[in-house]
Structure 1
Amino acid sequence: MAGTLAGYEPFDALGTVLGVYLALAAIATLVGTPWQYTGGAVVMIVQVVGSVLTLLVGAALLALVYRAE
């Protein structure tokens, strides 16, 4: 097993997996439109902003991992 991952940093793999997960979760949340089941516009705005911020955090983490190389 050690020969398979030789030369790779464990934090690079972890950052990549976490960044992709955050980006996909944010996209799935936006596509799934969960705010259609809430009762107010304020909740809808908070959910949209939270999803967009999650997407930005995931993209920033991916950029950080690949910019550091």
Structure 2
Amino acid sequence: MNALQDTFDSPLKPLGAAVGAFLVLAALGTIIGAPWATAQTLLVAIVQIVGALLMAGIGAGILYVSFAVEE
């Protein structure tokens, strides 16, 4: 008996959960880092914020697919 195999239906679920959580945390770290305070122009800050929000959305989607979607 393997604890990971008993807990997860697929061996890729823990990997998907880890990647999704990392993306969400990295996006939060980017937003908390206040890119608007250090960017040269407002356009650069807006691109960084939009990129971080998209990264958080992708990470949340991966987390959702990892846990909610059944095979």
CA contact (8 A) 2:5 2:11 kept: no
| TM-score (normalised: structure 1) | 0.86
**Where does residue 39 of structure 1 map in the other structure?**
40
Structure 2 residue aligned with 1:6: 5
Contact 2:39/2:45 (CA < 8 Å) preserved in 1?
yes
Runs ≥4 in structure 1, deviation > 4 angstroms? none
Aligned-partner residue type, residue 2 of structure 2:
G
Unpaired runs of at least 5, structure 2:
none
1:1-69 counterparts in 2 under 5 A? 3-7=2-6, 8=8, 9-69=10-70
| Deviation by residue 1:5-32 (Cα, 9 ceiling, x = unmatched) | 2333221000000000000000011011
Equivalenced residue count is 68
Aligned-pair distance for 1:38?
1.5
Give the TM-score, by structure 2 length.
0.84
AA aligned opposite 1:36:
A
Over the matched positions of the two proteins, sequence identity in percent amounts to: 35
For 2:15 and 2:5, locate their aligned partners in 1 and report how far apart those are by CA, in whole Å: 15
